[in-house]
Structure 1
Amino acid sequence: MPDSHTESPSVGIRMRSRAGRWTVLTAELGSGMALLNVMMVSIAVPHFGADLHAGMAEVQWSVSVYMLMLATLSAIGGALGDRYGLRRTFMAGITLFLGASLFCGFSTDMVMLVIGRGLQGCGASLVIPCSLAVLRQLIDPVDQSRAIGLWYALGGVLSAIGPSVGGWLIELGGWRWIFFANVPVAVAALAVAWLRLPLTATHKAHRFDWTGTCLLVAALGSLTYAAISAPASGITAAPVLLCLSVGLCALLAFLRYERRPAEPLVPLPLMRSRIFAAACVVVACMCAAQTVVPMFVLLQLQSVAGYAPAVAGAALIPTSLLILLLSPVSAALLSRIGPRLTVGSAALLGVAGVLLLARIGSHAFYPLEVLPGVVLLGAGLALTFTPSMSIAVHAAPAHNAGIASGVVNTAQRAGGLLGVAAVPALAGLTGSRYLEPDRLGPAFETLMVLCGAVVAVGALVAYFAFPPRSAYEFSRK
């Protein structure tokens, strides 16, 4: 039955109840599908890059355009969920993602693939914020931190097994099957959402900040183009300078304009909260590492270390196990020792993990050169993301849960987007060098050090901005 503006929503669902389990499963199916595909695409980079004769810039766009749509449209996706109902918006996003996946699978050149990936990002920008908002609006407040922890844990598992599944699909039928595999998952998510997801409150009066959205798309899109094009064209090239100027001007205009609308894309009361703003920064830094590091570790393992696609993908499985085990634990740590020590210390584990992964070279011995870094990175991600996202989401009132989760996802995806666009260029990976082991190897170490520095910034923000008291409680403002 479609959502109604007049029907009372179901709220206060306990996780142990049947309705609670179905609600969490529905949220996970949708967001997990989007996250799984991100990591499957990472391991397919050298395969579709060679098949479609793509340079590094084109490969970056196939990843970046997905992140761009997520980063710029997630807040609108959350607002649509608040206005039209989370179930309706959630199902619309899954349908769009399904169609875009088929489009990607049948691509005959990089232009088609990039367009399809952009459409996938549009669908994911509806699904991911709505899945988080479902937990915020429907699950009983007593269980919300646990529900968000489970949501991230299961999502992390799907993200981490993505390379292994993707490698297996590539060996079985080719890179196109990483997109065709989305179809049965999307159909299952649609069926479960239609039958089991409760209704949520809707808000007819909500107005969309289309001007703010356009300014943010222009800012991030232009800056991404400049970062990707600069290595090949030079930082002083006219197109690069033009895009850099447009991006910075659009970003300043966005920040200035957001003070005017009654219902802005990024509500100023949220951004005035030091805790909320700091949580967004930490999430952005960690997402940059979570996006860039696996992508190039998988590339390094296949091109330089000589691992088969399925074996390279399996190398990251310990990360999924740690995320599954430690994400629920992070909620308990948050209440016992406080946000500062929980998030700051966990981020430092991530730094150590990234730096250890920089040792991967030719014929890398997995137990000594890969596993330690994978373990520390997984622990750092598991113990950082869940507390940070819980802090950010709980900073918003319940009726703005969609907008708040959209803003958090915007920060998260913006971090991944700018990481993919800028870090490879800073490491010297341009043109087709990513397909040449002799050139990829030396650049990989530099790339890992840069990613470690980004995660270190997140640790510093957590230490200086999050409260130290173990008695810290989320307030409902």
Structure 2
Amino acid sequence: MSSYSTTQKWTLITTIMASSLVFIDGSALNVALPALQKEMELTGTQLLWVINGYALFLSALLMVGGALGDLYGRNRIFLIGLVLFSISSLVCGLAQNASQLLVARGFQGIGGALLTPGSLSILSAHFNNENRGKAIGLWSTFSALMGIIGPILGGWLAGMGYWRVIFFLNIPLSIFVFFGLLYKVPESKNASAKKLDVVGAVLVTLGLAGVTFGFTESSDLGFQHPVILMSVGIGITTLIIFTYSQKRIRNPMMPLSLFQSKTFTGANLMTLFLYMAMSGALFFVPLNLIQIQGYSEVKAGLSMLPIIICIATISPLMGKYIDQKGYRLPLIIGPLIVAAGYFTFTLIGISEGASSYWSTFMLPFLLIGIGMGIVVAPLTTAVMGSVNEANIGVASGINNTVARAASVLAIALLGAFALFSFKGEVIEKVETLGIEQRAQELLIEEAEDFTAAKPPLSLDKETALQAQQIYKEAFVSSFDGVVIIAMLLALLSSLISFLTIKNQD
């Protein structure tokens, strides 16, 4: 960094630390979910909302955050997002019940949407074409390192009963970033930025909210409940209206002309399906490891490291490969390897715990990491290479939004599937126990807590042990269903790449 100016050094430090906030918060919290669920006494549906309450607003408002920064100043919008993110983090850490936690997570998502796009925009504004690539490389490397540290940190804190500290850590980091950016990094904005597409922003937010709410709550109310049908119906209709509006509005948030490129369309469809597979399946992995397989929180965090390490080490190598050979082949092969990783999860069942890691969970994590490592850099290059230079920022924003929306939809859809499957398995097996009706009802009611379900204390020891085994087997069955769906989504993304992606001339 010795060749950089003082402004550039501070720009790098503040943007890296800001992105680290989001990476640590996400990766650490996933491993801490079982501990959080236990202490807050969350139902399975509420557990889904802990992740989706944040991801919903982040995905829906990501492009809005970028547009506001271009219009009103990137530093200004970034700092507003940072303040909102850090205050919301404090409230999350102090939350005493599920309602407080879920509302705070929603506001944290809004803060993240204002914060995340500004990070790379500010970085790009203070580095020229000669050193911008190197600066973004440093930013990406440190972001990947935070992804490695997050699960270990989350597991360690959760293991000691301090999952709330994950949220509190954001406060000192945010204060440092706030004053560093305010006093050391000059303001920048896009002089040619157009008026904000308010209609598009409202429509896409309502659309995603409707679909997410409907599928997430369907596990409690049932798919045929009027509230669920109305929510999903309004969500889908609003997203269709949003798409139509982008044709009519003068300065659309998502210019549909970009989708005239077959490669751009294919790359975004591939992003949607592959990231749905990734987010949907990996949401359930820590629950499986800790609640079912008997891993400690620390070992659960460490066990997932092959994914992050493979992505961090293979991605730079793929950058060199695509300069010489193009990005089409990696985008076909990578998802196939990821699909193989998801399939191998189904061969595990209930293992002997962390002592059997190397013969059970190591292989799927390794395959998923290798596959995603092959995909990440070529996918970004395909998106950027399929549009002209003037539209690179918008194209990147659309692809980022698709990836985030994929996460929201995956956890809503696969979460609903998993909860339905789990409850169905429990009901079917409890009825074979030959116990009185009231005891059966109590065991089925407990299934609402998903992996935190425990046999009632009123049961005798033998029946309680049988019930505990039923809960474990029901979860493994629903988990296998989730990873099979993830495998199919990964295979579909490979097929889309084969049919649509063309190497840049």
Q: TM-score, normalised by structure 2?
A: 0.84
What is the CA-CA distance between 1:279 and the residue it aligns to? 2.2
**Structure 1 residues 328-407: aligned runs within 5 Å:** 328-360=316-348, 361-364=350-353, 365-393=356-384, 395=386, 402-407=393-398
Answer yes or no: is the 8 Å Cα contact 1:161–1:320 preserved in 2: no
Q: Residue 477 of structure 2 aligns with which residue?
A: 442
Answer yes or no: is the 8 Å Cα contact 1:31–1:124 preserved in 2: no
Indicate the structure whose relative CO is greater, using CA pairs within 8 Å and at least 6 residues apart: 1
Answer yes or no: is the 8 Å Cα contact 1:156–1:324 preserved in 2: yes
Q: Alignment partner for residue 91 of structure 1, among 73, 79, 95?
A: 79
| Partners of 2:286 and 2:260 in 1: CA distance | 39
After superposition, what is the alpha-carbon deviation per residue over 1:141-180, rounded to whole angstroms, capped at 9, x for unaligned? 4665665555444323323432211111122342211111
What is the CA-CA distance between 1:17 and the residue it aligns to? 3.7
What is the CA-CA distance between 1:447 and the residue it aligns to? 1.2
Determine if the alignment matches structure 1 residue 190 to structure 2 residue 190: no
Q: Alignment partner for residue 278 of structure 1, among 266, 270, 273?
A: 266
Change (3 A) 1:198 1:339: farther
Q: Which has the larger radius of gyration?
A: 2
After superposition, what is the alpha-carbon deviation per residue over 1:436-467, rounded to whole angstroms, capped at 9, x for unaligned? 43421221111111112222222222222211
What is the CA-CA distance between 1:212 and the residue it aligns to? 1.0
| Partners of 2:38 and 2:310 in 1: CA distance | 33
What is the CA-CA distance between 1:425 and the residue it aligns to? 2.1
Q: Specify every segment of 5 or more residues in structure 1 that has no aligned partner in the other structure, as ranges.
A: 1-13
Answer yes or no: is the 8 Å Cα contact 1:145–1:390 preserved in 2: no
**Structure 1 residues 158-237: aligned runs within 5 Å:** 158-197=146-185, 199-203=187-191, 206-237=194-225
SS of corresponding position for 1:258: helix
Change (3 A) 1:327 1:36: same
| Partners of 1:68 and 1:86 in 2: CA distance | 22
Q: Residue 126 of structure 1 aligns with which residue?
A: 114
| Partners of 2:47 and 2:129 in 1: CA distance | 43
What is the CA-CA distance between 1:59 and the residue it aligns to? 1.0
Q: Alignment partner for residue 457 of structure 1, among 479, 487, 492?
A: 492
Answer yes or no: is the 8 Å Cα contact 2:264–2:386 preserved in 1: yes
SS of corresponding position for 1:362: coil
Q: TM-score, normalised by structure 1?
A: 0.88
| Partners of 1:154 and 1:293 in 2: CA distance | 25
Q: Alignment partner for residue 314 of structure 2, among 310, 326, 333?
A: 326
| Partners of 1:140 and 1:278 in 2: CA distance | 30
Q: Residue 3 of structure 1 aligns with which residue?
A: none
Change (3 A) 1:351 1:205: closer
| Partners of 1:273 and 1:76 in 2: CA distance | 23
Indicate the RMSD between aligned Cα atoms, in angstroms. Answer: 2.5
Percent pairwise identity: 26
| Partners of 1:26 and 1:383 in 2: CA distance | 29
Answer yes or no: is the 8 Å Cα contact 1:350–1:379 preserved in 2: yes
| Partners of 1:119 and 1:128 in 2: CA distance | 14
Answer yes or no: is the 8 Å Cα contact 1:333–1:342 preserved in 2: no
Answer yes or no: is the 8 Å Cα contact 2:88–2:107 preserved in 1: yes
After superposition, what is the alpha-carbon deviation per residue over 1:341-385, rounded to whole angstroms, capped at 9, x for unaligned? 122212222212222233443324111211121122112222212
| Partners of 1:135 and 1:253 in 2: CA distance | 35
After superposition, what is the alpha-carbon deviation per residue over 1:92-130, rounded to whole angstroms, capped at 9, x for unaligned? 222211111001011111111111111111111122222
After superposition, what is the alpha-carbon deviation per residue over 1:241-284, rounded to whole angstroms, capped at 9, x for unaligned? 11121112111111111111111111122233222222222223
| Partners of 1:413 and 1:343 in 2: CA distance | 19
